[in-house]
Amino acid sequence: MSIRIGIYGYGNLGRGVEAAIRQNEDMELVCVFTRRPPETLTVRSEGVPVYHINKAAEMKDKIDVLILCGGSATDLPVQTPEMARLFNVIDSFDTHARIPQHLANVDAAAKEGGNVALISVGWDPGMFSLNRLYMGAVLPEGKDYTFWGKGVSQGHSDAIRRVDGVLDGKQYTIPVPEALDAVRSGSEPTLTTREKHTRVCYVVAEDGADKAKIEKEIKEMPNYFADYDTTVNFITMDELKRDHSGIPHGGFVIRSGKTGFDKENTHIIEYSLKLDSNPEFTASVIVAYARAAYRMACDGLTGCKTVFDVAPVYLSPDSREDLIKNLL
Amino acid sequence: MSIRIGIYGYGNLGRGVEAAIRQNEDMELVCVFTRRPPETLTVRSEGVPVYHINKAAEMKDKIDVLILCGGSATDLPVQTPEMARLFNVIDSFDTHARIPQHLANVDAAAKEGGNVALISVGWDPGMFSLNRLYMGAVLPEGKDYTFWGKGVSQGHSDAIRRVDGVLDGKQYTIPVPEALDAVRSGSEPTLTTREKHTRVCYVVAEDGADKAKIEKEIKEMPNYFADYDTTVNFITMDELKRDHSGIPHGGFVIRSGKTGFDKENTHIIEYSLKLDSNPEFTASVIVAYARAAYRMACDGLTGCKTVFDVAPVYLSPDSREDLIKNLL
C-alpha cells in the first residue's frame, strides 16, 4: 500500500514535491490544498483534486503525511501547529533563530493530535545540519565552516527589487575560492563575512534611472550587502529572462579536526551540493523524510522531530536487510 | 558520570581509540584487554590497567561499552558475538560481503546478553555507507560512485610483501581525476575498475633481486593488481621509512540524480574525506558511535545495530536542545 501524501501550498516548493512524489513508487499524491479558489488552480498530475485549505480537516483519514509548502515568515508558524493536530506533517521551516520556538509550538500540537511532525527539513536546515552534527561528533577537536552558493538568494533578490528605479533583479551568493582553499588546508582560519562570500547582482533598471545611485544603494544596504564585496551588473529584461531564470543553489560544509595523542594528525571532511533547482532538491529531501515521518508514526511515536532524530534506515524505500547488504 | 570504555586489542586501531577517548570528556578508558602477556604491554594513558582477554568476563559490570579493535578476517567474527553476550560492544567489521552473516551472529548473541552491539562502524563501512543511503533516498533517480584514496591499502601492501625478492613495500590507491570529473558532471558514466583507480607501489627489493620480474609479478597479480593500471617504483628502505611511514587515506562518495516533471534538473551531492591517519579517523568514528551504543542500551534497546539504525542525535555529547539551537 502506498503512503498517501497531501500537499499544502502550491508554489515552487509544492510543485517540486509533486514532481518528487512521482519518483518514489511507494507514494501517492492524494490532493493539493490551496488558499486560492481551487477551480483557478490546475496541477500537473492528472486526476489529482485541488481543495481549498478549509477542507483539510475533512481529509484527515485519507492522508498519511501532509507536506506543508508555505513560507517560513508567516505561513509555517501558523500552519504547521494547526495541521499537526490533524495529520502527520513535515515542513521546511528555515528561520534558524526561531526553530526552537517553532519546535515547541509544533510539538505540543502534534502530541495533542497523536501525530509525528518533522520540521526544518531540506538542505540548510537539513542535510547541511546533519553533516555539521556528524562531523562534529566524529572530530570533536576541530572547526566547521558552511559556505553557500553559487546560488540565487530569494531574500536578496527581493531586496534588490525594492530599490527605487529597479524593475527586476537576481542576486547570486558565491563562496570565495581562497576561503574554501584555506579551510580545506586544515589551518582552521578565522574568516570574516566579507572573506567567505561575495554577492553578484544582475539588475534591470527603469529607462532613465540613475544607475550609479542604484548601484550605491544596493552596495550600502545594511544586513543584505554592506558587509560583502558586491558587484552590480545592469542588464536588459531579455537578458535577465534568458540567463537568470533558473533557481540554482548549493554550498559546502567542511570540517577540519585533529586526532592523535599529540594532535599530530589532521583530517578534512567535506560535504557539498551543486543543485540545478533549489526548490526541487529541497522537495526531494522533504519527500524522503515524509516516508520517515510515516514510519515513525506507524511505530507509535508522536511529537515534533527534526532530521537529528531520524534514524537513516527510515528514509529509504528499501528494506533494512537490502540496505545493509547493498550499501553498508 | 562518564561512559566507561574498554578496549579489546591494542594495535593501530586500539591506540587510535585510546587517543580519541581523551578528546571526549564524557568518556573514560577503564582498561585495555590483550592476547599478549599483559605485563609486556604498556599503554600510553597513565594509570590504565592492561588485562589478559581471559579476564574480560570479570569486568562485565565495570565497562559500559567494549570497543573491539581486532581484524575482520579472523578476530571479529569470533570476538564480537562472544563479547556481545557480556557487554555493549562496537566493532569495525569491514568485509562487506560477510556483513549480513556477521550481523545475524552478533544479533543473536547481543539479544541473549541483553546488550546493544554496533557493527561495521568506521568510514567504509560507516560514514561512506551513511552517505550512500542518504544520497540515494534523496535522489532516487540517479547513480552513486565511491572512490577510495589517495591512501594506503593494507591488503595490497601485504600482497606486495609476499612477492619473492621483496623486502618491504607500500601501495597507494589513487582515484583517477578524469573519472571524478566525469561523475561530477552529472553524466552518470559507466566506469570500469581500471578507469576509476590507479595503484602505485613503492617497493624495497632484496640486493640482487630481479626487479623486472618483481614488477611483472606485481602488475599481473590477479584480484589485487591485474585489473588496474599499476606503477611500481623501486626505492631504498631509508626512503620507504622516510616518505611512506604514514597511513593516510580518504575518498569520495558522489551521487548525481535528476528531478523535475521531465527530469530536467541535475543535482550533484559529494562527500569526501582526506585523512592523515586512517586508523585514528576510524577510531574517532567508533568512539562517537560508542556513545550512541551506550545511549541506545540506556533506552532499553538490544541486539545488533548498524550506522543505519542510529539516530544522529545519539552521537553528540551535546543535548538535543543545544544541537537544534546551534547546528540545525
User: Tell me: the pLDDT tens digits for A155-209?
Assistant: 899 999 999 999 999 999 999 999 999 999 999 999 999 999 999 999 999 999 9
Strands A3-8 and A65-68, by their bridges, are parallel
Instruction: Work out the minimum CA distance from B93 to partner chain A, whole angstroms.
Output: 11
pLDDT exceeds 90 at position A226: yes
pLDDT of residue B35: 95
Q: What angle do CA B213, B214, B215 make, to 5 degrees?
A: 90
Whether the CB-CB separation of B54 and B314 falls below 8 Å is answered with: no
Q: CA B86, CA B113: separation in Å to the nearest integer?
A: 6
Range 178-207 of A in CB contact (< 8 A) with B: 184
SS3 of residue B260 by DSSP: coil
Question: Chain A contact for B137, CB < 8 A?
Answer: yes
User: Tell me: the pLDDT tens digits for B111-140?
Assistant: 999 999 999 999 999 999 999 999 999 999
Rounded to 5 degrees, what are φ and ψ at B206? Answer: -65, 155
pLDDT exceeds 90 at position A98: yes
A289: left (phi over 0), alpha (psi -120 to 50) or beta: alpha
A318: left (phi over 0), alpha (psi -120 to 50) or beta: beta
Please judge whether B125 and A44 are an interchain contact, meaning their C-beta atoms are less than 8 angstroms apart: no
Cell numbers of B224, please? 589485487
Please judge whether B288 and A137 are an interchain contact, meaning their C-beta atoms are less than 8 angstroms apart: yes
Question: Chain A contact for B159, CB < 8 A?
Answer: no
pLDDT exceeds 90 at position A1: no
Task: Please report the number of interchain residue pairs, chain A to chain B, with beta-carbon separation below 8 angstroms.
Answer: 214
Of A19, A134, A275, nearest to B267 by CB-CB distance is A275
pLDDT of residue A180: 97
Please judge whether A127 and B140 are an interchain contact, meaning their C-beta atoms are less than 8 angstroms apart: no
pLDDT exceeds 90 at position B206: yes
Residue B73, judged by CB atoms within 10 A of its CB (0-12, 13-18, 19+), counts as exposed
DSSP state of B123: B
Strand partners, B303: B116
Question: Which H or E run contains B179?
Answer: helix B177-184
pLDDT of residue B304: 98
Q: CA A250, CA B43: separation in Å to the nearest integer?
A: 46
SS3 of residue B121 by DSSP: coil
What is the CB neighbour count within 10 angstroms for residue A61? 9
Whether the CB-CB separation of B106 and B79 falls below 8 Å is answered with: no
Strands A142-148 and A249-259, by their bridges, are antiparallel
pLDDT exceeds 90 at position B261: yes
Write out chain B residues lying below 8 Å of A140, CB-based.
Answer: 23-24, 317
What is the CB neighbour count within 10 angstroms for residue B191? 16
Whether the CB-CB separation of B209 and B184 falls below 8 Å is answered with: no
Cell numbers of A235, please? 542588464
Q: What is the mean pLDDT of chain B?
A: 97
pLDDT exceeds 90 at position A137: yes
User: Tell me: the pLDDT tens digits for A31-83?
Assistant: 999 999 999 999 999 999 999 999 999 999 999 999 999 999 999 999 999 99
pLDDT of residue A247: 95
Q: CA B107, CA B114: separation in Å to the nearest integer?
A: 10
Is-cis flag, bond preceding A150, omega within 30? yes
Q: CA A209, CA A61: separation in Å to the nearest integer?
A: 56
Write out chain A residues lying below 8 Å of B275, CB-based.
Answer: 265, 267-268
Rounded to 5 degrees, what are φ and ψ at A256? Answer: -115, 145
DSSP sequence for B27-87:
EEEEEEEESS-GGG---SSTT--EEEGGGGGGGTTT-SEEEE---TTTTHHHHHHHHHTTS
Question: Chain B contact for A252, CB < 8 A?
Answer: no
Rounded to 5 degrees, what are φ and ψ at B323? Answer: -65, -45
pLDDT of residue B1: 80
Whether the CB-CB separation of A131 and A271 falls below 8 Å is answered with: yes
Q: CA B5, CA B108: separation in Å to the nearest integer?
A: 23
pLDDT of residue A190: 97
Strand partners, A233: A202
ipTM associated with this complex: 0.96
Helix, strand, coil percentages in chain B from 3-state DSSP, rounded to 5: 40, 25, 35
B47: left (phi over 0), alpha (psi -120 to 50) or beta: left
Q: CA B152, CA A36: separation in Å to the nearest integer?
A: 61
Question: Chain A contact for B307, CB < 8 A?
Answer: yes
CA B225 to chain centre: 22
Whether the CB-CB separation of B203 and B213 falls below 8 Å is answered with: no
Whether the CB-CB separation of A115 and A81 falls below 8 Å is answered with: no
